[in-house]
Amino acid sequence: MSTTSTKSRAKKKPEPTAEYASGDGFSVLKWRIASASILITGAFLRLYDLGLVPFHHDEGVNGNFLVTLVREGRYQYDPQNYHGPTLYFFSAVIPWIVRFFGGKSAG
């Protein structure tokens, strides 16, 4: 009994489809221009303003808790958030002072 495959080892070349066989597809020059423009756009978006440090997920959540505390005056402890109430109450002092002196802050 043989363990050799019964499949043919001859490789078929794929036949060109009608779209590309007629020459209506992208030319090599168009592909290079499109690829270069995508690469340049991606590099620009990645490298522009490298000094900017965007917010992370947890900072947005902390900001949401702080805004709720300043606007509604309530804080509900969440054990999933490891900061506790001290961070929010110390941070809320400045908006409360600004509001006390007639300014508009967070609501």
CA dihedral of 60, 64, 66, 72, whole degrees rounded to 10? 170
Cβ 67 vs Cβ 28: under 8 Å: no
pLDDT tens-digit readout, 71-106: 898 888 888 777 788 888 888 898 888 888 887 654
pLDDT tens-digit readout, 23-50: 567 789 999 999 999 999 999 998 998 8
The pTM of this model reads 0.43
Structural domain spans, the chain:
57-100
- Reading the block at residue 34, the tokens are 């499109």
Tell me the torsion sign for CA atoms 25, 29, 32, 38. Answer: negative
